[in-house]
């Protein structure tokens, strides 16, 4: 996998699909990529809220943020947005 393959969506240098099915799959993949990116961003936001609560030393805030983050992390792992081991690692490190 060379550099141009990894950054193709960022630079919009896609190779054109040869069939209608391939064009449709490319469109669907792009929509899913954007949708999944927003979910990954949401998970990172929840994690940052927990870390911020821990750093301030406020036990109640940190606990509430952790309790709100765990179901979101689990849901994203179930959907395949993040890997299940990554979800478990995040929960373990925050707990």
Question: pTM score, two decimals?
Answer: 0.73
Residue 55's Cα: distance from chain center in Å? 23
Q: Which long-range contacts (CB under 8 A, 24 or more apart) does 64-70 make?
A: 66/94, 66/95, 69/43, 69/94
Domains and CATH numbers, the chain: 16-94 (1.20.58.110)
Q: For 74-93, how does the pLDDT look when each residue is reduced to its tens digit (9 = 90+)? A: 999 999 999 999 999 999 99
Q: For 9-56, how does the pLDDT look when each residue is reduced to its tens digit (9 = 90+)? A: 555 656 777 899 999 999 999 999 999 999 999 999 999 999 999 999
CA distance 56 to 51: 9
Give exposure, 37-57, as e/b (b: 16+ Cβ within 10 Å).
eeeeeebeebbebbeebbeee
């Amino acid at each position: 996998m060379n550099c141009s393959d990894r950054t193709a969506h960022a630079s919009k240098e896609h190779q054109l699909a040869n069939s209608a099915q391939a064009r449709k799959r490319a469109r669907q993949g792009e929509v899913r990529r954007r949708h999944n990116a927003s979910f990954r961003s949401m998970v990172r936001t929840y994690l940052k809220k927990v870390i911020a609560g821990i750093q301030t030393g406020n036990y109640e805030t940190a606990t509430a943020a952790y309790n709100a983050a765990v179901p979101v992390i689990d849901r994203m792992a179930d959907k395949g947005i993040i890997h299940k081991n990554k979800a478990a690692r995040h929960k373990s490190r925050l707990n």
